[in-house]
Amino acid sequence: MNVGIIGCGWLGERLLSHLSDKHRMYVTIRTKRNLSTDNYYHCLEVDFDNFIPGKWQVLSDLDSIIIAIPFGRRLSVEILQNRLKNICNFIEGFNKQLFFTSSVGIYPSVNGTIDENFPIPDLQPELYFVEKYLKDKFPKINILRLGGLMGDDRYLSKYVVSEPHQMVNHIHYQDVCRVIERIMTFGLHSKTYNIVAPKHPTKQEIMNHQTGIHLPLESAYGKIVTSEKVIRELDYDFLYPNPLYF
């Protein structure tokens, strides 16, 4: 297959490395740099915030496209609209398999279990705006709501952590790559999935495990974003089901 990745940041680069063994890869990148894969790929430098691109020249050759550009919640509506408009113009008319890597940050901070059917009025407005904009333009798009991305150089004890007794909704990047590849194989469209590790330890549990310093644990709280739908519909077994061992 010919696969396009729009946005080769932290996740996009790892998707490229994972998929390039089996697929011919075409990627866009904001600033040219060497990407960490030994396999050949086609790279185009595009800044979707400050450049109005024409249509992607290889668009008709692509079988699948992954939009892996992040859309932070702090971005203004004007910036969001401009970025989205330019991306949509870049792939205008594409009617094959399309993915958007969204975030479980779309869900509010509540205590309890959350699935993909969470009420729309309670979703985070900016992230829902992005999802809806893309869904209106490309009705067959697959929306993947990713947990906090971990693996490689990303591990919790590396960061300053607040609310240590809050449960995490993390995902190892290798599971993101494997889920996307599985959806490609099944040829699915118009799906919305939470991609989150099935286990939800607290931040303090993870910090204790990673640092070897065993600070006391208190009652856990917070939201649990469930990935039961992707497990059930894709018959998927997580490579890294527990963030404690990322």
Question: Structural domains in the chain?
Answer: 2-152+171-196+226-239 (3.40.50.720)
For 61-187, strand residue ranges (E) read 64-67, 97-103, 112-114, 142-146, 148-150, 170-172
How much is the mean pLDDT over the chain?
95
Helices 10-19 and 173-186: angle between axes, nearest 10 degrees: 50
Q: Quick one: the chain helix, strand, coil %, rounded to 5?
A: 35, 20, 45
The answer to whether 143 touches 193, Cβ cutoff 8 Å, is: yes
Residue 40 above 80 pLDDT? Answer: no
Task: Average the pLDDT over 48-74 and give the result.
Answer: 90
pLDDT score, position 36: 64
pLDDT score, position 38: 60
pLDDT score, position 41: 87
pTM: 0.95
Task: Average the pLDDT over 35-63 and give the result.
Answer: 86
Tokens at 91, concatenated: 């792939």
**Where is pLDDT greater, at 75 or 215?**
215
Q: Which of 132, 82, 136, 74 is nearest to 105 (CA)?
A: 74
pLDDT score, position 53: 67
Residue 37 above 70 pLDDT? Answer: no
pLDDT score, position 155: 96
- CB crowding 52-88: b at 16 or more within 10 Å, else e: eeeebeebeebebbbbbbebeeebeeeebebbbebbb
Task: Average the pLDDT over 33-59 and give the result.
Answer: 83
For 174-233, how does the pLDDT look when each residue is reduced to its tens digit (9 = 90+)?
999 999 999 999 999 999 999 999 999 999 999 999 999 999 999 999 999 999 999 999
pLDDT over 90 percentage in the chain: 88
**Tokens 């995902």 found at:** 171
CB atoms within 10 A of CB 159: 10
pLDDT score, position 58: 97
Most confident by average pLDDT, 37-41, 46-50, 74-78: 46-50
- The CA-CA-CA angle for residues 96, 231, 102, to 5°, reads 50
